[in-house]
Structure 1
């Protein structure tokens, strides 16, 4: 089984807005982290589409991808993901065609089928009010792929995407359930699983993806990337302290609130009840918060258990320098193997 140094590491960034900060600060920090990540040897830097969440600044995902790509030179930049049901496939083909024309050979298009938001937000995004929970995703995906590659005949006759058509933009399917896993397998596309928030379905989805995989022009054999929530620090205690910012954010989510990223706290037991604690901790069951040694053995476990071809690390810390330090330590682990 692969060791940590043979598996490329990438970063998923939600452009966190911290309490006392704003989107401008978040974007500066995002670009700064991407520039460091490039020097440290990370493979990709992906940004995620979320709406109606004050603590996440990456709503206009393709605009932010352009900002990050412009500030870096070699790292691949992409979406993790664009929620396709929110958009006309033609617009996404044009947006990513534009990005891929500006930054050739560096743009990835990761696609999800969840709306990435609540129903009021879906309505504000002008989606059909009966938008069938992503059941039309295969159709939207076929349309998008045929705009980029007209030999896939699932598109709209007489409509072409300029820029977009004929560009080699790798498409990834993202999932937190079996639906996209199976579809990615059938279409022979790479698959990224969101185990940073849906760890329970991971093994099932991987099995489904690999067993339904059919080779394609894009990919000869299955290729899996796994999202993992990791915070590294110089000691286990410090990492666990830093991780309380994310725990507070998840806690607010399960209470139906959204918030900016809060400063870490000494004792989460003052904030949550036992039941909430179990739910929040379960969200992090496929992650790690700890020293280099702790994180190293956790990464090795995850790779061994899943056979992942790549890991995509996500981790938010209230303090930007602490967040940089976390990704630097993870990069050291990757290099040391």
Structure 2
């Protein structure tokens, strides 16, 4: 059976602020756990008015306290923004608080312009070139192999499950070489999905953490009892994608009836391109779309993305999806 997990960006909705976003994400994590989902991940973004998950490890600590057993983690931490030692301490602390529940998904893309780089006191382009070495150093800080001159406390000996994230062939190559499970961001970058998974499985080198290839693929999923309702609640995420791609990111907007029909051809084509990794509709329609996607990719896990303006609509979508795929 394909496992279902949830990815949330802690979206800030129009007319609200970070406090309401945090509460909605916490409620969603509880709903995901009750629905039997395997993991709940939060992604690191900075200086974006519509996303409140920048202090990812702090958000995860709150979610951990609000839930009981679901695995929680980052999808992901952008390692060039940090030092390996800082992340070892943060996620070692999370493991001490919530033993056996912590995932650490790592990404290379800094996703920051000059202003944010100055705010972070980082040359992120240069830092991203050291990403493979930093991943190896971070793993060594947890495992002690090879022994590091300084031990992270908390961190050393922590049972943190490290994942490689990616949307290109680079992450697939590195995950294969290091023997890490691999999560592909097909929900917003589907172009290299098939080639990346083929490369990852072909070149995979077993490790103590991951003796054989293990793939998670992201899908944008909106499920409702009524097909029209599913497509309507999906329009808030569609607006966010269009606004981001046209250089106008902002808070999550209310749904708009017939939104796609109002768009120029390039925006329609962009959303249609992303649809290849989406499932929108009734429970039976969503289950069929997920099954076809799993058959195509051979994914061991699916992680569901997709923000809704009404937080309860997202929680209901997760519950219906989990029931539909069994």
TM range (shorter): over 0.9
Question: Which residue of structure 2 lines up, in the alignment, with residue 152 of structure 1?
Answer: 146
* TM-score (norm: length of structure 2): 0.97
2:235/2:255 contact within 8 Å kept:
yes
Instruction: Give, in angstroms, the shift of residue 270 of structure 1.
Output: 6.1
**C-alpha deviations, 1:231-273, integer Å up to 9, x for none?**
1111211111111111111111111011111001112256421
User: Within 2, Cα distance between the matches of 1:140 and 1:125?
Assistant: 17
User: Within 1, Cα distance between the matches of 2:128 and 2:220?
Assistant: 26
1:56/1:260 contact within 8 Å kept:
yes
Task: Pick which of 110-119 and 195-204 moved more.
Answer: 110-119
2:99/2:159 contact within 8 Å kept:
no
Task: Pick which of 116-125 and 299-308 moved more.
Answer: 116-125
Q: Give the SS at the match of 1:9.
A: strand
1:49/1:116 contact within 8 Å kept:
no
CA distance 1:14–1:185, shift in 2 (3 Å)? same
Question: Which residue of structure 2 lines up, in the alignment, with residue 137 of structure 1?
Answer: 131
Task: Pick which of 139-148 and 263-272 moved more.
Answer: 263-272
Pairs aligned (count): 326
1:252/1:258 contact within 8 Å kept:
yes
Q: Does 1:110 align with 2:77?
A: no
Question: Which residue of structure 2 lines up, in the alignment, with residue 312 of structure 1?
Answer: 303
Find 1:77's aligned residue among 55, 68, 72: 72
**C-alpha deviations, 1:40-92, integer Å up to 9, x for none?**
10000000001111111101000000000011010000000000000011000
Question: Which residue of structure 2 lines up, in the alignment, with residue 3 of structure 1?
Answer: none
Q: Does 1:179 align with 2:170?
A: yes
Question: Which residue of structure 2 lines up, in the alignment, with residue 242 of structure 1?
Answer: 233
Question: Which residue of structure 1 lines up, in the alignment, with residue 46 of structure 2?
Answer: 51
**C-alpha deviations, 1:80-106, integer Å up to 9, x for none?**
000000001100000001110011111
| Superposition map of 1:109-128 within 5 A | 109-128=104-123
User: Within 2, Cα distance between the matches of 1:205 and 1:16?
Assistant: 29
User: Within 1, Cα distance between the matches of 2:126 and 2:280?
Assistant: 37
User: Within 2, Cα distance between the matches of 1:45 and 1:193?
Assistant: 16
Q: Give the SS at the match of 2:276.
A: coil
Instruction: Give, in angstroms, the shift of residue 320 of structure 1.
Output: 1.3
2:102/2:159 contact within 8 Å kept:
no
| Superposition map of 1:159-170 within 5 A | 159-170=150-161
Question: Which residue of structure 2 lines up, in the alignment, with residue 101 of structure 1?
Answer: 96
CA distance 1:243–1:49, shift in 2 (3 Å)? same
Q: Does 1:195 align with 2:197?
A: no
Q: Give the SS at the match of 1:280.
A: helix
Q: Which runs of 5+ in 1 are unaligned?
A: 1-5
**C-alpha deviations, 1:12-50, integer Å up to 9, x for none?**
010111101111111111111111111110000000001
Q: Which runs of 5+ in 2 are unaligned?
A: none
User: Within 1, Cα distance between the matches of 2:260 and 2:306?
Assistant: 21
1:65/1:77 contact within 8 Å kept:
yes
CA distance 1:233–1:78, shift in 2 (3 Å)? same
Q: Give the SS at the match of 2:280.
A: strand
* TM-score (norm: length of structure 1): 0.94
Instruction: Give, in angstroms, the shift of residue 133 of structure 1.
Output: 7.2
Question: Which residue of structure 2 lines up, in the alignment, with residue 7 of structure 1?
Answer: 2
Q: Does 1:325 align with 2:316?
A: yes
**C-alpha deviations, 1:270-319, integer Å up to 9, x for none?**
64211121113312321121111110100000110000001111111101
Question: RMSD of aligned C-alpha atoms?
Answer: 1.3
**C-alpha deviations, 1:129-148, integer Å up to 9, x for none?**
6x237221001111111111
1:251/1:272 contact within 8 Å kept:
no
Instruction: Give, in angstroms, the shift of residue 321 of structure 1.
Output: 1.6
